[in-house]
Amino acid sequence: MRLYKYCLNCDKALKGRTDKKYCDPQCKSSHQYKREKQQPARFYNKVDNQLKLNRKILKKYNKAGKATVRSTILINEGFDSKFFTHYWKNKRGDIYLFVYEYRFLKRKEREIKKYVLIQWQNYMSQKL
């Protein structure tokens, strides 16, 4: 008794095992890919992917541990400052946003929006 008579992806007649669903591994992969694309994107995946991208961009532009970069450069690479993991407030009241171990602070210098990028330091774990 065969459960599936035809491939679920390409509708070719199936030969072999009675519980076979696909004619070959490529059809199986293609069918699963199509089915996954029909599903709505999961919120968690969107957030996680953006955090990973933000971290990658901050790491790229912060080789020395501290850097100042124009916001347009980061944004053009896909950086989104609304996605961060935590924040830290210094004694002057500046609030740094973190993407894992990389922090950034929005600044405006001579009407140009910039980000100050700094890598995590041990003193940041102390309570103020």
Per-residue pLDDT of the chain (128 residues; tens, 9 = 90+): 556 689 999 999 998 888 899 999 999 999 999 988 888 778 888 999 999 999 999 999 998 888 999 999 999 999 999 999 999 888 899 999 999 999 999 998 888 999 999 887 776 565 54
Tally of domains in the chain: 2
C-alpha R_g of the chain: 24
Is residue 115 within 8 Å of residue 60, measured between CB atoms?
A: no
Report d(CA 105, CA 87) in Å as an integer. Answer: 10
- Shared-domain flag, residues 28 and 57: no
- Shared-domain flag, residues 82 and 120: yes
What's the gap between Cα 96 and its chain centre? 20
- Shared-domain flag, residues 5 and 56: no
Residue 45 pLDDT: 87
Domain carrying residue 53: 43-125
Residue 125 pLDDT: 63
Residue 22's CB is within 10 A of a number of other CB atoms, namely 20
**71-95 burial string, b = 16+ CB within 10 Å, else e?**
beebeeeebeeebbeeebeeeeeee
Residue 128 pLDDT: 45
- Find the length of the chain: 128
- Shared-domain flag, residues 49 and 101: yes
Comparing C-alpha atoms, which of 30, 50, 31 is closest to residue 42? Answer: 50
